[in-house]
Structure 1
């Protein structure tokens, strides 16, 4: 009888030990996932958080384990940005019953949050956060390319329809010109022809804006190119009380580009920066910084300002054709810039915070 009891105890101990080993193994896997994991029990107390989620929240795991949601929000280590995000997730999950949320952090990375609760969780709430920035970038690039391609088709169609009647009008005016000359009204014909030519030039400019030509590339050093752009914009910057600072590093760095097109891109960005600084009023001291960096394959042109910045909604549509926040803007400048950099085999990205400023990063292949 005693031996049977001892055998049962040993078996129970072995089962317990095996269960604990399995539990430790799975906890170890969860702790080191590249996705963030956090678990709340039915009473709202945090029972588990892995390394990645703690890093996202900017707190140590030991300091918040066993805390309630209210205690976490009041945590001294947690930043205001993360507190706002947590409150937003709580509101949308509890009040609006949403199970999926897409958020961006301070570094511009996108995260997909999934909330699991209900009968299968026995009253617990499991929140997972997965980095989907690469997928988001691919999606945005494909969407942008589709819109730019559509813009090119529309522009070509409009230009063709307008050019045909203009050509006919020009021909008839030239036929009438000798009769107008006899009447002493040759000046009228000259003005009409000049205005028709001006209309044709506007159409050509619009076509070039919506569908930039293939780049005619030459090898140039980056810094002299940037210096030329600074010289072109310096006087306008002074009038608006701004300073353009070119950080002269990486002097030997060369790129193969269409100089005219790349100048157009940088001028567009600097002029937008000047407008963003002007919107803050005359008493705001504006600074625009230009800096060149590199890695093994690419040169990076950083253009940052301390203007009014942009909110998330503006950032999401920034490179859309015809989207503008200016009263007199066409909304083509940045969409054209995006196409030009893409045609050069590069990429253009932007980071911005409302009220703090904006930074554009132009990536171009090195020679």
Structure 2
């Protein structure tokens, strides 16, 4: 009888230990998932938070464990940015019964937050956060391609219809020019012709942005190519009190590109940098730096400036056709550049903050 009791106790102890091991194992898995997890009980107290969620909140796990939402919001570790996000999620979940939330963190990464509650949770609230930055980037790229395709259709349909009447107007104005010259109104002729040419240039931009010609690639040394572009912009930079610096450390690197198209892209980026520096003020000493780096099978061209920089909203729309922050801009320069680099099998990225300048990185195939 005694031995049976002892066997039962040993069996119970082994079962308990086995259960505890399984529990510890699963808790360890939850704690180190790449998705963030946080659990509140029916009384609103935090009972579990894993490493990723604590990192996302910017708070230590020990300091907020067992706290209510109000106590968490009082934590000095939490940034104002994160406190606002928490309040927004709370309001949308409680008042609007919203279960899925999409948000971005302070580093610009996108997260999908899912809230689970109800009978299956026995009164608890489970929040899980998954990093969907890569999916968001794919989505934005697809959206960008759709817009460029639509732009192509619009450009192709309007270019022919507008160019024909412009050509006729230009011809008749030139016929009338001698008569206007006799009346002392030649300045009017000059202005009309100049504006017609400007309209034609805009149409050309439409066509280029819709379908840039296939690149005729050749192997060229990257530093001499950049030198040529710098020479084209030096006079404008001097007039604006700006200095353009080219780091010539990678003289031996060659890239496989269409020279004319790549010059167009780099020229556009430098002119944008000059405009951004000019917007800061007359007493600001402008600096544009061009640097070349080798990255495996690619060559990266870095173009950075100390201009006014851009906010997050501007960055997300930067390569959209027709989007511009300039009063006289068409909003096509960067969308054209984006398409040209893509056609070369490369990438173009940008990093910027308000008041801290902007850096573009163009990655192009290295010539073998």
TM tier, smaller = 0.7 to 0.9
- Asked if the contact 2:323/2:332 (under 8 Å) is kept, the reply is yes
| Count of matched residue pairs | 360
Q: Which residue is equivalent to 1:45? A: 45
Query: Any idea what SS the aligned residue of 2:161 has?
Result: helix
Distance (Å, rounded) in 2 between the aligned partners of 1:337 and 1:117: 48
Displacement of 1:201 after TM fit?
Answer: 6.0
Distance 1:200 1:61, change over 3 A: closer
Displacement of 1:255 after TM fit?
Answer: 0.9
- Asked if the contact 2:206/2:332 (under 8 Å) is kept, the reply is no
Q: Which residue is equivalent to 1:349? A: 349
Moved more, 90-99 or 292-301: 90-99
Displacement of 1:49 after TM fit?
Answer: 2.3
Displacement of 1:196 after TM fit?
Answer: 11
Distance 1:51 1:197, change over 3 A: closer
Displacement of 1:20 after TM fit?
Answer: 1.3
Distance 1:202 1:221, change over 3 A: same
Task: Write out aligned runs for 1:301-340 (5 A).
Answer: 301-340=301-340
Moved more, 135-144 or 310-319: 310-319
Show structure 2 runs of 5+ residues with no match.
183-188
- Asked if the contact 2:209/2:339 (under 8 Å) is kept, the reply is no
Task: Write out aligned runs for 1:170-249 (5 A).
Answer: 198=197, 203-249=203-249
Matched, 1:20 2:20: yes
Q: Which residue is equivalent to 1:117? A: 117
Q: Which residue is equivalent to 1:156? A: 156
Distance (Å, rounded) in 2 between the aligned partners of 1:58 and 1:163: 58
Query: Any idea what SS the aligned residue of 1:319 has?
Result: coil
Displacement of 1:76 after TM fit?
Answer: 5.2
TM-score norm. by structure 1 comes to 0.82
Show structure 1 runs of 5+ residues with no match.
none
- Asked if the contact 1:166/1:196 (under 8 Å) is kept, the reply is no
Q: Which residue is equivalent to 2:129? A: 129
Provide Cα deviations, 1:123-154, integer angstroms capped at 9, x if missing partner. Answer: 33322222222212221111111111111121
Displacement of 1:282 after TM fit?
Answer: 2.6
Query: Any idea what SS the aligned residue of 1:37 has?
Result: strand
Displacement of 1:185 after TM fit?
Answer: 6.3
Query: Any idea what SS the aligned residue of 2:341 has?
Result: helix
Q: Which residue is equivalent to 2:251? A: 251
Distance (Å, rounded) in 1 between the aligned partners of 2:167 and 2:232: 36
Distance 1:201 1:333, change over 3 A: closer
- Asked if the contact 1:210/1:332 (under 8 Å) is kept, the reply is no
Distance (Å, rounded) in 2 between the aligned partners of 1:219 and 1:301: 16
Provide Cα deviations, 1:45-102, integer angstroms capped at 9, x if missing partner. Answer: 3322223233334444344433444554454555555444444434443454432222
Distance (Å, rounded) in 2 between the aligned partners of 1:124 and 1:114: 14
Displacement of 1:163 after TM fit?
Answer: 3.7
- Asked if the contact 1:37/1:52 (under 8 Å) is kept, the reply is yes
Distance (Å, rounded) in 2 between the aligned partners of 1:59 and 1:289: 38
TM-score norm. by structure 2 comes to 0.82
Distance (Å, rounded) in 1 between the aligned partners of 2:311 and 2:157: 34
Q: Which residue is equivalent to 1:272? A: 272
- Asked if the contact 2:221/2:252 (under 8 Å) is kept, the reply is yes
Displacement of 1:342 after TM fit?
Answer: 0.6
Moved more, 94-103 or 1-10: 1-10
- Asked if the contact 2:350/2:360 (under 8 Å) is kept, the reply is yes
Matched, 1:36 2:36: yes
Distance 1:56 1:8, change over 3 A: same
Q: Which residue is equivalent to 2:294? A: 294
Distance (Å, rounded) in 1 between the aligned partners of 2:241 and 2:138: 39
- Asked if the contact 1:58/1:79 (under 8 Å) is kept, the reply is yes
Distance 1:22 1:202, change over 3 A: closer
